[in-house]
Structure 1
Amino acid sequence: MPDSNHVHPDVLSLRKMLLLKKQELSALLEITQAINQDTTEDTLYKIFQFTLLGQLNIRRMVLYVKDEGQWQCMVSFGHQLADFRKIELPDEIIDTCLSGPYPVASLPLGPEWQKLETIIPVGHQDTVSAYVMIGSVQEDYANDEANKFLETLSNILIGAIENRRLNRQRISAAAMRKEIEIAQEVQNLLFPSKLPNDEQVAVHASYVPHTAIGGDYYDVVSIDKERFLFCVADVSGKGVPASLLMSNFQAGLRTLLRQNVELATIVHELNHLLFRNSGGEKFITVFFGIYNRTTRHLQYVNAGHNDPILIPDSGPIQYLKEGTVMLGIMEKLPMLTVGETQMPPHSLLLSYTDGLTEVFNEAGAEYGEEGLIRLMTRNRYLPLTALHKEMLREIEEFSVTKNQFADDITILSCRFK
């Protein structure tokens, strides 16, 4: 009868190997169960840590993961081990450890790294997405086969976390696309569907957004048979917040016009509305004009906006400057002047946003207001549609970036017949 205390060495070796395989399977099962339960990333890292500690008896471990091009330590545990979350991954590891397990002792690393023994790169071919660094490993679990299993286990973990990140990005991108679609619809509804074109006046507008959702706005609103209001505005910022602020601005403007209040009151009330909505963090520059077809009289307020250019049939060019500061930066406007002028027959008024003039050529020269006036003087009697096309063609030709303009462009022209 064989002595149970004298087991053949091969049998002992087989038992150890079976036990290690059982531990590996348990570790694999714990990680895959955690992944399938849609566990958070932080929890996955903790389970990975406790699995290596509990199932494989790895006493020290550090995990660095590449996240959006930056290396971050996501796990750092072990007796007498420094907190690697506060230590940058050395270039010696990044440049040298591209494949296979690498002994820490062979690299010129600082004393805090000497508690670790092996560096295992995780990734595909020469692209490393993570480094697993282990130390104080039990003797039976310190061979090439064990290292390969650790690499496989880490690959599963990093792959699952990357999939979560990509899925989160997809959901975020889809939500952003929907938000942009809604904002674009809102913005399109803000612009008037029909502009005046009769025996007294013709109005034409062009709008070229810099991004999917611009920060410019224009409007033309009939007040009564004789009068209509027109405005051109530029909100600070871009995107959805700018679009929402503009929609509040338009709603407030239309409400005030229905109440038949004076232009000065409209400007004060809109300033208060904008300040209340943005707390002074956003502002709008805007030009308001109210034109009376019968009297040819124009009332206007320029609230920190580019000065509209009035080109009469004869005589000097005028700039409509009277008004106040931009709206929304303070609760009460410090001053407000309502400008008044007569519109001579056959005169042309151009209101625009600064995207039209702040265009630069290869030499760094700005197209500017001077370039705009030269163009208008040459083409003042063109139909408004053709005039706008000529403006956009010329600044595109002038610009070093061609049709990739740096800002939104809004043009609103009025021809007084």
Structure 2
Amino acid sequence: MIKQQSVNSKFKLKLILKITQAINENLSIDELLQQYKYILFDELKIGKIAVYKFNSNWEKLLVSGISKECIDKIKIEKHLSSISEITYISRDLPEVFWSFDFIIPIIHKNSVLAYILIGDIDEEMEGMSPAIKHLSFIQTISNIIIVAMENKRLYEQLLIQEAFKKEMELASKIQNLLIPNQSSLPQNQYISTRGYYQPHFEIGGDYYDFINFNDQELGFCIGDVSGKGIPAALIMSNFQATLRALFRPETPLDELMVQLNKKVCDNSSSEKFLTFFIGIYNYTTRKLKYVNASHHPPLLYNFKSRETTLLKKGCIGLGMLNEIPAISIGEVTINEHSKLLCYTDGLIELERDDQMEVGVQFLTNMFATPKNISDTFTDLIHYIDIGKKNNAVIDDISLFGIEFKTTHM
């Protein structure tokens, strides 16, 4: 008897070492399952087995020795969710289990990771049933195999996440190159500028730009693609390249908008569109021509009169329709000391104390002050806490400001 127990112990130890070696060799999940199946069927003489494992949902990992008709009747949430310990399948349990002898739950980190159903083919065999004889050992090796599979899955998932994270970091760096940094913004005797950009995720669908056409003319724009994340960023990156290729001071703004609308329709799905504002300012004539394509109207504040004007003239958003029905070009002569604020909707949809507190009027009041554009931006960013750790941010945020100087300043 003692000798037989010793033989059995060595036999089981050999199998555990074999499984451990397979795990250490980093075999695939399918290869581990084949090893597991070999041990149960060929070494332990188990006749029937079904393995269910939970990933994001329940999956059948292994089925053998049992008909598909029987397996298809088993519904994990309905039939197995209440089982948390090894259970002998008596006639008190649902009939769907009667082809098996035991249910073995695999517990990992206080939750059921898998269910193993085992049974013998020959119910009339002499001597002890293999399922009963090796029950504890089957639980042990099942636990080793299933946990190893789970660890392998989590590790592979981590690798994918890390690779995705690196790709997103690279994409973020590339996109940031498309957004002007403060050192590259135009600063001269005619204007001062400030800009700010913060995507909700690593990359986003907001965009602003400045283009110095010549010594007399400055082009600028701001846009916001519907949605967030990668799809919006791809559309905006493509749009930025298109705009840079088409935006010229000699091209009328209404013609430019027609061309841009066609490109957006060609390059994006029907549910994606852009709100967009574009302008050209002439330093000599002090005239600003613009088109607002359903974007939040920029604020133009006159320091002398203390009046704020909303720049609303324009058309529908780009990509909303295949053809823009009508386009109005706005024109403003800025003879006096003034400042302009262009922004995306993320700025006025910041949450503070669980309330949508930062609205257009609130923003207007903050902007309509005697402070220059640099100090105004410092106050804006500080007051509404536009920081990367600010949990109130629910969308991409872009804003830029231009201060129009006078010759006697």
TM-score by length of 2: 0.83
- The offset of 1:53, in angstroms, is 3.3
Contact 2:74 2:96 in 1 (8 A): no
Match of 1:345 among 317, 331, 336: 336
Match of 1:118 in 2: 102
* Residues 1:386 and 1:259: Cα distance change in structure 2 (over 3 Å): closer
- The offset of 1:208, in angstroms, is 2.9
Match of 1:325 in 2: 316
Contact 1:227 1:292 in 2 (8 A): yes
Match of 2:87 in 1: 102
* Residues 1:24 and 1:143: Cα distance change in structure 2 (over 3 Å): farther
Is residue 251 of structure 1 aligned with residue 241 of structure 2? yes
- What residue identity is the alignment partner of 2:294? G
* Residues 1:17 and 1:363: Cα distance change in structure 2 (over 3 Å): closer
Match of 1:414 in 2: 402
- The offset of 1:369, in angstroms, is 0.7
Match of 2:46 among 58, 72, 83: 58
Match of 1:200 among 190, 195, 198: 190
Structure-2 separation of matches of 1:78 and 1:102: 20
User: C-alpha offsets along residues 93-139 of structure 1, whole Å, 9 cap, x if unaligned?
Assistant: 444424xx321228x53211222221222245844322211122665
Match of 1:334 among 322, 325, 330: 325
Match of 2:199 among 203, 209, 228: 209
**Number of matched residues?**
397
- The offset of 1:162, in angstroms, is 1.8
Structure-2 separation of matches of 1:254 and 1:126: 57
Contact 2:119 2:131 in 1 (8 A): no
Is residue 228 of structure 1 aligned with residue 213 of structure 2? no
Is residue 305 of structure 1 aligned with residue 289 of structure 2? no
- The offset of 1:36, in angstroms, is 3.7
Q: CA RMSD in A?
A: 3.5
* Residues 1:86 and 1:353: Cα distance change in structure 2 (over 3 Å): farther
Contact 1:289 1:298 in 2 (8 A): yes
* Residues 1:402 and 1:19: Cα distance change in structure 2 (over 3 Å): closer
Match of 2:169 in 1: 181
Structure-2 separation of matches of 1:146 and 1:339: 84
Match of 2:116 in 1: 132
What secondary structure is seen at the aligned counterpart in 1 of 2:384?
helix
What secondary structure is seen at the aligned counterpart in 2 of 1:221?
strand
Match of 1:147 in 2: 135
Structure-1 separation of matches of 2:228 and 2:399: 18
Match of 1:242 in 2: 232
Is residue 357 of structure 1 aligned with residue 348 of structure 2? yes
Match of 1:393 in 2: 382
Structure-2 separation of matches of 1:140 and 1:353: 75
- The offset of 1:19, in angstroms, is 8.9
Match of 2:361 in 1: 370
Contact 2:22 2:32 in 1 (8 A): no
- The offset of 1:294, in angstroms, is 0.8
Contact 1:348 1:416 in 2 (8 A): yes
- The offset of 1:24, in angstroms, is 9.0
Structure-1 separation of matches of 2:117 and 2:361: 65
Contact 2:83 2:105 in 1 (8 A): no
- The offset of 1:17, in angstroms, is 9.3
- What residue identity is the alignment partner of 2:395? D
What secondary structure is seen at the aligned counterpart in 2 of 1:115?
coil
For structure 1, which segment, 175-184 or 202-211, has the greater mean C-alpha deviation from structure 2 after superposition?
Answer: 202-211
